Structure 1
Amino acid sequence: MDRRDTAGVGAIATIPALLTDRAERFGEVFAISGPEGRLTYTELAERAARVTRAAMSSGIEPGDRVGIWAPNSARWVVTALGLLGAGATVVPISTRLTGVEAADMLARSHTRALFTVRGFLGYDYPRMLAETGRELPDLARTIVASDADSWSSFLESASATTVEEARARAAAVDPDDISDILFTSGTTGAPKGVLATHRQTLAVFSGWADAVTLRQGDRYLLVNPFSHTFGYKAGIIASLLRAATMVPVPRFETDLVLDLIEQERITMIAGAPTLFTDLLHRDRTRHDLSSLRLAGTGGATVPTELVERIRTDLGVPQVFTAYGLTESIGVVSVCPPDAPADLVATTAGKALPGTEIRLVDRTGNPVPLGDPGEITVRGANVMRGYLDDPEATAATIDTDGWLHTGDIGTLDAAGYLRITGRLKEMFIVGGFNAYPAEIEQTLLRHPGIQDVAVVGIPDSRLGEVGRAVVVPTDPAAADAAAILDWARSRLAGYKVPREVVFTNALPRNPGGKVLKSQLRDPR
């Protein structure tokens, strides 16, 4: 039975209202499970409400920005939902950032309070922040959620605010209030803060949940960082929308993930292609993975063979891919989980309902069907703008409301989108446009290539040529000349890379995207 709509949101348009509804309608369903324990939706709402009261008692006002610099956990979920109930704007910060980078985001977002931890992977985030020496005049309070005294002291302040006052504050949150500021990966410059509202977040991820078939009763392993849209919105928010059970994982560890799939009877897992590659390379015979029904990936080039192996070797019958960016509230299109493997691997699927996709040339005019062009998007999944940067906002969202993604793609007659590269990553070989993603997709069919990224490098005669940075399946047998010979029979001459460089792993950001700026000088 298709249960996608049984947890529909109807007219609900704020995240606090959604949580209240879930507690009322699915109160005994487990909202969170895993090594930290279990919380029903009723218990999740109660704990979030206490955070709301404590935030109000601490002086957090509607619209105040509050940072969370911590790994995935049940407490992260409770804290974020409680802050949203207080009318605050959540500012998630990646645990991979340095103190200097985190301080910059806190300063630029004028963050009033920060929730963070000590001890994750040996890091002491409060100390890292203090050691920067940067003054943060807006930051009035830091709560160390991993410190029992600090966390308890914060929660005890809830007594100064009544339950009724907290309910009134949550009810006063407007659908068009800014719910969060998520920073871009910074792969093409300094990270920018992206403003998103409650209304558009719920609308976009309700559509996403329908497209990927997430449903009530699913048990969703949340591996992707909550500081990223893939973890926070396609994880926490989507789970709330469908009253699914969340199983947060602080970081990806192959054996731990395999254990949790068996112990928690996980039905859905999503992550970068490398996550599934790592699972496939482990001995899985000791684990019962039969509960898995749905897997999602994206954020990088996906080999067709990987989709096939997820379905056959991991036994996950449904696999989907998706395309999106922070500026599009995380998602633009989805390739449905029942599509053929080659379609899942080589396309980003079709636009979400209510989303328009148009491909344009450098002058902004639409390109003919099938021709490559910059992907522009219009709909609910267009950000409200960049934080305190009207010029960058105007350069990204045109006067007709189209978001210019900077990605190059093609659309076929059936509406399937293919990503061929970044506008800024495209390189020109003797006057011909070469698109890295297209070349990467071909190279990934080579049996000796496990992972690959292609970048343009200067050439005295042709202007630019391609460099393929390859993770070989067998380092001892890696043969650059053989790879180039193989590529010449499958790619036009100008698309064939002029050199192959081998590496153990490609550098990636938390969302799984390759940091290509680091590949142009790999030595």
Structure 2
Amino acid sequence: MIEIESVNEIYAQSFRDNWSLPAITDYISGAAVTYAEFAADIARLHLFFEQTGIKPGDKVALMGRNTPRWITVFMSTITYGATIVPILQDFTPTDAQHIINHSGSVLLYIDNSIWENLEFEKMPSVKGVVSLADGKLLGEHPLNEGRIERVLKNLKRSFRKRYSKGFNPADVDYPSMNPDDMAVLNYTSGTTGFSKGVMLTYRNLWGNITYGINSRLHYQGSRALSFLPLAHAYGCAFDMLVPLAVGTHITVFGRLPSPQLLLKALANVRPNLVICVPLVLEKIYKKQILPMIVRKPMRWVLAVPGLDKALYVMIRRKLVAAFGGEFEEVIVGGAPLNHEVEEFLHKIRFPFTVGYGMTECGPLISHTPWRQFVPGSSGRTLEGFMESKILSPDPENIPGEICVRGTNVMKGYYNNPEVTAQTIDEDGWLHTGDMGTRTSDGTIFIKGRYKTMILTSNGQNIYPEEIEAKLNNMPLVSESLVVERNNRLVALVYPDYEAMDRFGITHGQLPREMDNVLSELNKLLAPYERVDRIQLIAQEFEKTPKRSIKRYLYNV
């Protein structure tokens, strides 16, 4: 159990204790650094901040793909006492510039390819822009009179002078910050308008990090494959912050995680914990497992007692091997897991669990180790860190809005007291906007978003996400969205063109096939949930940088 109460001291202690161990490897290039080298890189950036006039509390923006240098900039900023502003690389140039200006960032680290599309003159607060690729200066504000350029030119010499006897474990010493100081300013990729700046404090980070350490999600010498966006709170906390706090070896994937490339990387790295989003498991299930178990011979095997268990054992072994074979559990988060996929994984005893969180909690709200995980739930509210309640007359049976409070709850939205007051009430309860139920031990069951819930004329609550989960498992359906039109439910469907080619189905035959899909779907639904028709759409749904469908564009 960890007893250190300062985030920066957790990292200082970790870097000293794990000095000679591997810290970060770039999967693409193979370049690697030890904790000693990583700590020296941080010290070099601290010296750069100091000499360029960056003060504790100043904002440093960071935008680019996952790389070891991205991690170095992030960790250097929070251990210096400045505030990091991670920006998802998928944000448009206009949105990125708005975030940089809204945050008041004075320094920007960015990928060269993204920088080409930004306009420096439209970001007046930024003193300088530095390349994430090679650390070179990309731009400097004229009023700064070339100070950053001079510091960068002489940085190696300055570092050797500062640490004339070499950089040693005793030199790793970071300021102890006020727990309520802002460490991260994370802009959400909200689906109903421009994103808000979530103020995460050192206390919020400490809660997530400490839970991860105490739960042994990562541990000294363990291996992690980081493939989720580190600019998002989920990947940031459990693919970076927790691993670096204990001496884990992080391999940074650094590319779009297609299932084929990702499975190859998992086999190579053999991580001891896998952090993923539902889409990864759902694609593997739909593309590899489902076609196998729906074949007639397999259906016959599954109908024979004893043989079905042997088949499940075989599938489980293959799936475990595909994820590297040496992990304790797969933690699924970031979005709800498809019920059919979850039921199958539970049936074959695949070691997975589903957690629940949001950026505003940096991100974790609930998690249960896989052996105690209750299927259909999103884990148990973090004991000792968080508490939860349901705004419902019968929280165990009647869904209501999920509210949480505790160590992980954000300070508020940056420069937005009105929305902060609407989200966090006077008693400190954060209103999540999610609907669900809760058992007496704090286990949370999520139904859907409050804003997407459809109330029928006879008073029934319909959660479109639950219908979409069933529909997305149907043949020929790539993704879907259920909306209300003239008091009837309509399913917007983007077809699975790969499956159409595989089954030899033409565009002309597709409407008839969708009639069959609709018939099968409605057999799985309660009478009040049944869908009136399927409407095909020609292009993929427009999505946020977090890959959530922009529902508000289709609710017309």
Question: Shared fold by TM > 0.5?
Answer: yes
1:408–1:507 distance in 2 versus 1, CA, 3 Å = same
Shift of 1:212: 7.6
Shift of 1:484: 3.0
Shift of 1:360: 0.9
Which among 348, 371, 374 is matched to residue 338 of structure 1? 371
1:266 matches 2:239:
no
Q: Which amino acid aligns with 1:142?
A: V
1:83–1:300 distance in 2 versus 1, CA, 3 Å = closer
1:288–1:76 distance in 2 versus 1, CA, 3 Å = closer
1:75–1:309 distance in 2 versus 1, CA, 3 Å = farther
Shift of 1:308: 6.6
Which among 327, 330, 333 is matched to residue 360 of structure 2? 327
1:440 matches 2:438:
no
- SS of 1:327's partner is helix
User: Any conservation in 2 of the 1:272–1:512 contact (CA below 8 Å)?
Assistant: no
1:159–1:34 distance in 2 versus 1, CA, 3 Å = same
Unmatched 5+ residue regions in structure 1? 1-7, 119-123
Match in the other structure for 2:109:
115
Which among 333, 336, 347 is matched to residue 377 of structure 2? 347
Q: Which amino acid aligns with 1:357?
A: S
Match in the other structure for 1:125:
114
- SS of 1:84's partner is helix
- SS of 1:54's partner is helix
1:214 matches 2:208:
no
1:20–1:471 distance in 2 versus 1, CA, 3 Å = farther
1:139 matches 2:139:
no
1:384 matches 2:419:
no
Match in the other structure for 1:407:
434
Partners in 1 of 2:198 and 2:361 — Cα distance?
9
Map 1:87-486 → 2, pairs under 5 A: 87-118=81-112, 124-130=113-119, 135-147=122-134, 149-150=136-137, 154=152, 156-157=154-155, 160=158, 162=162, 170-208=174-212, 210-211=214-215, 213-251=217-255, 252-279=257-284, 281=287, 289-307=324-342, 317-339=350-372, 343-344=374-375, 346-353=376-383, 354-361=385-392, 367-430=394-457, 431-443=459-471, 447-448=474-475, 452-459=479-486, 462=487, 465-467=489-491, 469=493, 474-475=499-500, 476=503, 479-486=513-520
Shift of 1:87: 1.3
Shift of 1:468: 5.1
1:215–1:149 distance in 2 versus 1, CA, 3 Å = closer
User: Any conservation in 1 of the 2:395–2:437 contact (CA below 8 Å)?
Assistant: no
Q: How many residues align?
A: 493
1:500 matches 2:534:
yes
User: Any conservation in 2 of the 1:429–1:465 contact (CA below 8 Å)?
Assistant: no
For residues 346-384 of structure 1, give each alpha carbon's deviation from its aligned partner in whole angstroms, at most 9, with x where no partner exists: 2211101231111115xxxx5443211011101112110
Match in the other structure for 2:295:
none
When Rg is computed on C-alpha atoms for both structures, the one with the higher figure is 2
Comparing 151-160 with 421-430, greater Cα deviation is found at: 151-160
- SS of 1:101's partner is helix
Q: Which amino acid aligns with 1:375?
A: I
Seq. identity, %:
25
Match in the other structure for 2:77:
83
Match in the other structure for 2:303:
none
- SS of 2:408's partner is coil
For residues 484-522 of structure 1, give each alpha carbon's deviation from its aligned partner in whole angstroms, at most 9, with x where no partner exists: 33333332222122222456855543434333234447x
Shift of 1:403: 0.2
For residues 133-187 of structure 1, give each alpha carbon's deviation from its aligned partner in whole angstroms, at most 9, with x where no partner exists: 76222110000121464399738436557469x9798324333221010011121
Unmatched 5+ residue regions in structure 2? 139-148, 165-169, 290-317
1:63 matches 2:57:
yes
User: Any conservation in 2 of the 1:262–1:289 contact (CA below 8 Å)?
Assistant: yes
Comparing 47-56 with 64-73, greater Cα deviation is found at: 47-56
Partners in 2 of 1:505 and 1:211 — Cα distance?
39
Instruction: Provide TM-score, normalisation by structure 1.
Output: 0.84
1:114–1:419 distance in 2 versus 1, CA, 3 Å = same
Shift of 1:191: 0.2
1:489 matches 2:514:
no
Which among 38, 41, 49 is matched to residue 44 of structure 1? 38
- SS of 1:171's partner is coil
1:49–1:168 distance in 2 versus 1, CA, 3 Å = closer
1:12 matches 2:5:
yes
- SS of 1:465's partner is strand
Q: Which amino acid aligns with 1:474?
A: A
1:420–1:77 distance in 2 versus 1, CA, 3 Å = same
Shift of 1:216: 3.0
Q: Which amino acid aligns with 2:389?
A: R
Partners in 2 of 1:113 and 1:34 — Cα distance?
25
Q: Which amino acid aligns with 2:224?
A: Y
Instruction: Provide TM-score, normalisation by structure 2.
Output: 0.80
Q: Which amino acid aligns with 1:465?
A: L
1:368–1:200 distance in 2 versus 1, CA, 3 Å = closer
Partners in 1 of 2:74 and 2:129 — Cα distance?
15
Comparing 496-505 with 218-227, greater Cα deviation is found at: 496-505
